[in-house]
Amino acid sequence: MSHLVDAARLTDLIAADARILDVRWKLGRTDGRDAYLAGHIPGAVYVDLETELSRHGHPDEGRHPLPSTGQVQDAARRWGLNAGDVVVAYDDAGGLPAARAWWILRQGGVDVRVLDGGWQAWQTTGGAVEAGDVVPEPGHVVLADISGGSLTIDEAAALAASGILLDVRAPERFRGEVEPMDPIAGHIPDAVNLPTTAHVDECGMLREPDALRRTFAERGITDGVAVGAYCGSGITAAHTALVLAEIGIDAKLFHGSWSQWSNTPGRPVATGE
């Protein structure tokens, strides 16, 4: 089963009472609520990435620490989710925030997909739009533990040495040439760079599976290889996990990512290729 849906399929799912989550969020923007209120996919409920798909923590936990299962379950009930619901998440940022929702809810046992191409694809295909807030009846979903697919900072370090740990940030951040967000530039020793932007086309749609497999194989990632992913704060890496799942490869996520690593004294830092 695909972890993605296109705009046409989403129309069918909406008719079948799927739950739609609007996860519009970007770095440097407090949240996407204003954009949501101005126009969203009919029936979509707004999801606040900063408070519902993350939690506030200390710097050595990273910029977007993984929330507790209880925190996400409370949020999911606010979104109106019940057991057995089909859920589709979308955003306007290349699938990154929606992938965070996908990863967390998937760990919790929810049947969740991501809209391929996001809000832009919906608009391009002429999908219906409504304005204002959607406040559903509270749901009763019960989530499984969402932390099972996560890597601790020590597990990430070990995987970099024994398997493949993907750094999915831009190459210049990986090499340590720039660092706009975190206190130290560079990457986790033995990590391999593969920006998640390599997996989508100019329209933000996921590339064909064979092309994706070739890209990952060039980094040594094939069936049976232990693989994990990290980014700056655990948002972008969820998209790489989504892409890998789409071609049948499960990946762990180091949710603390570089923001946790670079704020933890004593952790080694590599630069260059």
Known catalytic residues are: 231
For the chain, give percent helix, strand, coil, nearest 5.
35, 15, 50
Query: Within a 10 A sphere around the Cβ of 43, how many other Cβ atoms?
Result: 16
Q: How far apart are CA 60 and CA 64, in angstroms?
A: 11
Question: Could you tell me which of 55, 261, 266 has the C-alpha nearest to residue 159?
Answer: 261
- The one-letter amino acid code at 266 reads G
Question: How do beta strands 4-5 and 45-46 pair?
Answer: unpaired
d(CA 80, CA 94): 25
Contact in structure between 32 and 26 (CB atoms under 8 Å)? yes
Amino acid letter for position 126: G
